[in-house]
Amino acid sequence: MDLTRFIRDIPDFPKPGIVFKDITPLLAEPRAFHYAVERLAEHYVHHEIQVVASAEARGFLFAAPLALRLNKPLVPLRKPGKLPYKTHALRYDLEYGSAELQLHIDAIEPGARVLLLDDVLATGGTMEASCRLIAQAGGKTIGCAFLIELMFLGGREKLRPCEVFSLLQY
């Protein structure tokens, strides 16, 4: 199945010069959504993974069905003020300003092997921060998975030595 048929390019969103990869057509087509999750599962089913984790928000849409499919715990990485229990926190720099991600302190067992997932790999800044937060919590990121990779931005370099896997490359 050609998943690119279900990715819609939206030029100049959210700002001029950015071509936004809109995944909502894929979410709206159960056969395509199912196929995408199966392809991700196929890649990781023989990896030793203890946890599937993802930063909000669109990553959750793929992390949840993948965690169920792999029969692994799902751990959300969230923006400040969203998680109700005690948290680990990590601040990271964005192009303009900074952002923070949080994780419940009991979400990751010491040494747990974590698969991180997001919808799009752009510059890799968000995923790099997620990896650092997992490390801070005592886990080890063994893979970074994406539905879409924007190759021309070179995000995977930033994620070395972590294994990077993407279903679609642009």
Q: For binding to ligand AMP (CB under 6 A), which residues are involved?
A: 18-21, 58, 118-126, 155
6, 35 contact by CB (below 8 A): no
Shortest approach of ligand AMP to residue 46 CB, angstroms?
A: 27
Shortest approach of ligand AMP to residue 119 CB, angstroms?
A: 5
Task: Tokens 């896997």: give the residue.
Answer: 165
Phi-psi region of 165 (alpha: psi -120 to 50; beta: other; left: phi over 0): beta
Cβ nearer to ligand AMP, comparing 21 with 78: 21
One-letter amino acid identity for 143?
Answer: G
Rounded-to-integer distance, Cα 21 and Cα 115, Å:
23
Cα–Cα–Cα angle for 97, 21, 42, rounded to 5 degrees = 110
What is the chain's percent helix, strand, coil content, to nearest 5? 30, 35, 35
Q: Which two tokens stand for residue 38?
A: 């199966």
Cβ nearer to ligand AMP, comparing 87 with 130: 130
Q: Which of 58, 69, 113, 132 is catalytic?
A: 58
One-letter amino acid identity for 102?
Answer: Q
Cβ nearer to ligand AMP, comparing 67 with 168: 168
Q: Which two tokens stand for residue 144?
A: 């970074």
Cβ nearer to ligand AMP, comparing 4 with 105: 4
Shortest approach of ligand AMP to residue 163 CB, angstroms?
A: 17
Catalytic residue at 48? no
Shortest approach of ligand AMP to residue 125 CB, angstroms?
A: 4
Catalytic residue at 58? yes
Hey, which residues are catalytic here? 58, 95
